[in-house]
Amino acid sequence: MRGKRHQSAAKGGKGKTSNETREPSRDDGKVTLEGRSFLYVGGRDCQVAHLREIASSYGAELIHHDGGLREAVSRIDRVLPSVDCVFCPIDCISHDACLRVKTGCKKWGKAFVPLRNGSKSSLERALQDLTTANNRES
């Protein structure tokens, strides 16, 4: 049986405690992607907020570029030097944007990670793989 505090928290009331609202602890000795930033080029606009939440859950920042639909493709060149890695869902990106990203990644020595598609699970899987690789290196 749940207490009143839990009932009001479940209903979105003010009874939430700090333990109920905070993220899972990252003090378990595992390396996270804390402080890293990623560029996500292409994908679906309706997914961007969800993708940012996923990256944030790993402690990372996600910068989005729509791949040239509304934003100038040249903006990719300005953002690339400041990120650690670039993700491109290969089903939702123009050839021009993808080529520009690949060329820029080579120029700046950035990791290029093609994603099978623009789904949330594809990004989640890629971030999990990066986290696993970081854990092995440390």
Which residues constitute the domain of residue 102?
A: 34-137
CATH number at residue 90: 3.40.50.720
In a domain, 95, yes or no: yes
Domain membership of residue 10 (yes or no) is no
pLDDT digits (tens, 9 = 90+) for 58-71: 999 999 999 888 88
Cβ pair 57, 106 in contact under 8 A: no
Q: How confident is the model at residue 16 (pLDDT cuts 50, 70, 90)?
A: very low
For residue 63, tell me if it sits in a domain: yes
- Residue 37 near residue 84 (C-beta atoms within 8 A): yes
pTM: 0.75
